[in-house]
Structures are given as C-alpha cells and as structure tokens.
Amino acid sequence: MSLDRGYLEYPMRRHGMDHDRYAWSMLAERTPIHWPGGRPLAVWINVSVEHFPLDPAGEGLKAHGAMTMPYPDLRHYTLRDHGNRVGIFRVLKALVTHGVVASFAINGEVAVRYPALLRRLAATGGEFLAHGWNMDRVHSGAIDAAREAQWIDDTLAALAPFAPAPITGWLSPARSQSAVTPELLRERGITWCADWVNDELPYHFETRHGPLSMLPLSYELEDRFVIGENLHAESEWADQCCDAADFLLAEAERSGAGRLLSLSLHPWVIGQPHRIGHLERVLGHLATRGDRIWNAAPSAILAHAAPAPGA
Amino acid sequence: MRADPGLYRYLPWDERPRIVWPGGARVALWIAPNIEFYEYDPPPNPKRKPWPRPFPDVLGYSTRDYGNRVGHQRMMAVLDRYGLRGSVSLSTAMCVHHPEVIAMAAERGWEFFSHGIYNTRYVYGMDEAQEREMLSESMALIERHTGQHCDGYLAPALSHTERTIDLFAELGGRYTCDLFHDDQPTPVRTRSGHRFVSVPYSLELNDTIVYVVNRIEPRRYGRMICDAFDRLYAEGAESGTVMCIPLHAYQVSHPHRLDALDRALEYICRHDGVWKATGREIAGHFLDHHYDDFVAAEAHVEAGA
C-alpha cells in the first residue's frame, strides 16, 4: 500500500499563511493599540440570543445545544427556550447592576418569534450582531451557496426593524462558515465578523468583495464551552474569566500595548438560577478594576483599533 | 499486525541500575513546546480525517493558528522567567511558513526535533519509501533552517506505522518521544540495532490531552503538574527520573490558563536537584552512562536470574 504522490507534495508551503484570507502577523509584534483614556484593557461582552428548533434538519453540522433525543425532544427544546424567557432577563439585570455595556448576537428567527424580547434588547442601546437564522441553519461547506445567501438575507431582514443602528457585525451559528460565507456577508453590507478565533485583537480579512474586519469573540472561555462542553463547575468558569482579565491587564500594563478581553455569554447556559450569581461575580471582578478597563461595544472597539491590511 | 510493538523489554521499576543525572539531580525536567502548523485544506488520508467539520473547518483551523499568532511569545516569556529551554516538537513546515517563530526559539538556545512536516499529514497508508522521504525531509528542514541535527522524533499527530521508529533510527535519530510506557529513558530495539532510546514525553501532562481530551480545569492542571513533580522528585532520590511537560501555545497560552502553568513552574524551580534539560541532553546522558547497564539488566530479568 502507498499513498498518492500528492500526499507528499506541499504546494501551499510558503512564507505566511496557506490561504489568502489574511496576512501572517504576531500580536506581540504589532503597533501598540491605546484605548481611550489610556486604559490598558478593553472589554467586549457579547450575549448570544438563540433559537433551537424542535424539528432540526441537522444539515452538514449540528450546533452544540441542538436536539439530541427522538422527536419531539421537549427536554432540550424547552431548556434552550428558558434562555429567551427567563435567562436573558437575569443577564440583562446583571449587566445593568454592574453598569456594563453588552452587544447581542441574535438569530433572525428570534425576532419573528419574540418581538417583545427584541424590543427589550433594543431598549438597552446595545449593538446588534446578526447571528444566522437559527441554530439549525449552520453555515458550512455542506450548504449550497444560494441557500446560504437566502439565510443571511432572511436574518438581516428580520433583525433590521428592531436594531438600534444598522447591523454591521456577524457571528455564525456554531462558529461555522462555508468557503464563501465571508463573500456573502461582505456583499450584503456586513463589515466585520467574530467567527475566527485565531487572535485577540481585530485584524484585516480579505473577501472577493472587499475586506472585512475580523474581531475574534473568545471561544475557549465562553460559558457554553466551559460549562456545557468541558463540564466545569460554574465557579470554575468564573475563576477562568477573572484569571483571563487579570492576565490581560498585567500583559497590557507590562507591554504598554492595549489588550482586549471578549466574553461570550449564552442566557440558556448562564441564566439558570444556580449559575447567574457566577456571572455577577465576574462582572463584579471587572467593576473593581473599572478604572483600568474600557468597556465598549464591538463597533466602538473596531473604530478605535481599525485593522489595516497586513495586520 | 503485531500484538506487541516489540520495541522495548520489560524491566521492573524498582530493579534497575541507578540513574545518576548531572550534578546529582533527582529529576531531569524537560519542556516540549509543540510548534505546529495545521493546514487549511490538507489532502485526504484514507485512515483519518484532518478536520471534524466540512471544509473549511474555521473553528479547528483558527484555534490552532491562535498559537502561532498569539501564543508562542507568551509561553516563551514564562519559560524565560525560570531559565527553562524548550525542546521543540516541530511541524517542520513552520520553518517556511513562520520562520520568525523559529528564530525566537533558536535565539533562546532551544532544541528542535521533528514532529513531521505538517500536523495534518499522517503516515497511515504510506509505504516505506514514502515514510522515509517524509522523515528525511523533516530532518533536513531542521538542519537547513536551524543548523541543528535532528536527534528526536514525535510522530505528526501521533500517527505511526510499524516501521516508524526503525526508519528514524536508520536516518540518524537518537531518541523517540512516541512511547509512554515509562518514567525513565528506555533502550529501544530497532531493526538496525542502532543505540536508540525512548525519552519519556508525558501524555498525561500534555496540555492538549489535559484541555481537549480530558477537559480539565486550568488550576487543576497546575496542581497535577506539582503533584507529578513531588512524586518524581521524591523517587528521584533513589534513581533519577524524567519529568516532561509537553505544551501547545494554542492551548496553554490562553489568558485564562497560562498563569496556572507559570505558578507550577515557579513551584518546581524553587527546588534544588532539578536538571533543566532538553530531550537531546537526556537522551545523550542516558546513552553515554546508563544504556549498557539497562540493556544488561533487561537481559538479566528476561533470563529469570
């Protein structure tokens, strides 16, 4: 037995990346960013507002949190819906209590199902990101581009009437993209995206229709990943968030270059009564360091740290 | 297929010749940062999918790329603080893609050993000539870009054939990191009869196994490292032991994780009797001073004496 010759050939072995989406760049080598007021750490908090259908098609890729039991999986459907009925309001209250600004990445179908929730989210003044149609419409290489384009159109159309400002940012369900998702987004006026998790600061990302800014939303620290996939205790998740904040603060102060902490929250995870207190502890931890933190909306962070080509 | 790899002989933990490390150290501590490149669109292999998601696996690819863009320098700063050198398990295509990272490791006097060309190219299905070509090209890349002879090997993504270790020994390698059967170096039997050893590379303390497979909390990882050290240090009073901490910048260098490693290294380096070594130095010391005694002891045990 042997392998095809091509398996020992490396046509993309060259300096830099093995694709043309972005340039090779090390965070520590870049021109330092200085946040407003000379604060060393920017904090972006994003809340994902999601709908998991009872009758998933599960095409291509299943999002974590999707139905797993024989139809009708009322168990998981209703646990996810708890996030939109109860959890989100606990999260909103915690944000207000600690004077924290957050953005909301929202599935388009939530706007159709729960306009009352959209009006409440809009009233916070928080920035809206488009987050796909629902958690069963996972953009991936298994999906035809025309259907994918329709999903994006539907999502943007459903969210637009409620958005406090025109939507410019995108977060894909399950952080999954097809090979043309960036093109489809850019064609539709999206200018930044949070899916790729290879950095902690915004960077310049190429599409055939013009550039996007990539503003990575942390994944390994998100409540759903740490609590839902790693099965760590909620107190451990809170410790990890506090440790991350202190680590980045120290690095920013030592290096003189601004750093960014992004926190990704899911009301269907963190809004449970036994968990919400741990989010409040994290927000309290940030508040005690408030004079060194610039808490801002993602578009404000991008406006301040606009990535240039090659960065 | 074989029921036993046939690479090493049995030798009870408490019936061995005494290992004496340089300076009488109890523990040979080595840190093995994996500096890896995972391809965006690798060719398919008949036995193993490179990515779990349909192309493009944005999450998988960007998770690994984080190590190269953000992680290495953070990890290097921690190792510098404790005077620890890395022994780099290198996806050797990194020499071409990101020579800047290689230069930073080289200027610290770190060792480089082969971890294949890419961590998305597996040896499953290769014939002997193909595997030899891949191994030899990876060793040549290290030599050309760092001036170092490649002494060690850790198979890319831990993908092996029955011949892997034989081939590496024949190409001039001196040690393997692919065997997890012991906490001391072990003579390895290869078909050419070269003097060749296994240097312990702990999978249990490997950050990727810890964080991705076993899903362990960062602070607990720090305690595991300290606990492992305490035991190997205590036992090292009788005969030298090896402690390896394999790392991946895309896992350990996250802001919510790196301090746990930092504190564990601080704890270890507070002790006397720790030899801060590299894989090459451990292999060399064992080959020069203990290999023959171990081979004799193995024969003795096998003879039932």
Does A141 sit within 8 Å of B59, measured CB to CB? no
Q: Buried b / exposed e across B229-256, counting CB within 10 Å, b at 16+? A: beebbebbeebbbbbbbbbbbbbbbbbb
CA B164 centroid distance within chain: 15
Tens-place pLDDT, residues B211-266: 999 999 999 999 999 999 999 999 999 999 999 999 999 999 999 999 999 999 99
List of chain B residues whose C-beta atoms are within 8 Å of the C-beta of residue A3: 45-46, 125-127, 130
Q: Do residues A203 and A212 lie in contact, with contact meaning Cβ atoms separated by under 8 Å? A: no
Question: Per the structure block, which two tokens stand in for A270?
Answer: 């963190």
User: Is some CB atom of chain A closer than 8 A to the CB atom of B249?
Assistant: no
DSSP-assigned beta bridge partners for residue A180: none
Nearest to A8 among B72, B96, B130 (CB): B130
pLDDT value of residue A223 = 98
Question: Per the structure block, which two tokens stand in for A189?
Answer: 């006026």
DSSP-assigned beta bridge partners for residue B46: none
A160: left (phi over 0), alpha (psi -120 to 50) or beta: alpha
User: Is some CB atom of chain A closer than 8 A to the CB atom of B140?
Assistant: no
User: Is some CB atom of chain B closer than 8 A to the CB atom of A153?
Assistant: no
- What is d(CA A103, CA A217) in angstroms, rounded to the nearest whole number? 11
Which range of residues forms the domain containing residue A136?
35-304
Residues with Cβ within 8 Å of residue A110, at least 6 apart in sequence: A49, A50, A51, A84, A117, A118, A134
Tens-place pLDDT, residues B13-69: 999 999 999 999 999 999 999 999 999 999 999 999 999 999 999 999 999 999 999
Tens-place pLDDT, residues A104-142: 999 999 999 999 999 999 999 999 999 999 999 999 999
How many structural domains is chain A composed of? Answer: 1
In chain B, whose CA is at the least distance from the CA of A178? B56
Does A141 sit within 8 Å of B256, measured CB to CB? no
What single-letter DSSP state applies at residue A225?
I
Does B117 sit within 8 Å of A3, measured CB to CB? no
Nearest to B53 among A1, A61, A236 (CB): A61
Residue with tokens 């996250």: B254
Nearest to A25 among B59, B69, B255 (CB): B69
List of chain B residues whose C-beta atoms are within 8 Å of the C-beta of residue A13: 93, 96-97, 117
Q: Where do the domains of chain B lie?
A: 22-302
Residue A124 Cα, gap to closest chain B Cα (Å): 29
Count of CB atoms within 10 A of residue A248's CB?
22
Question: Per the structure block, which two tokens stand in for B107?
Answer: 């200027």
Pick from A240, A245, A257, A258: nearest CA to A289 = A245
Residue ranges of chain A with per-residue pLDDT less than 50: none
User: Is some CB atom of chain A closer than 8 A to the CB atom of B136?
Assistant: no
Tens-place pLDDT, residues B97-120: 999 999 999 999 999 999 999 999
In chain A, whose CA is at the least distance from the CA of B258? A247
CA angle B161, B162, B164 (to 5 degrees): 60
Complex ipTM above 0.85? yes
- What is d(CA A212, CA B88) in angstroms, rounded to the nearest whole number? 35
User: Where does residue B208 rank: exposed (0-12), middle (13-18), buried (19+ CB within 10 A)?
Assistant: middle
B147: left (phi over 0), alpha (psi -120 to 50) or beta: left
Fold of B22-302: TIM Barrel (3.20.20)
Interstrand relation of A169-170 and A203-205 (parallel, antiparallel or unpaired) = unpaired
CATH number of domain containing A103: 3.20.20.370
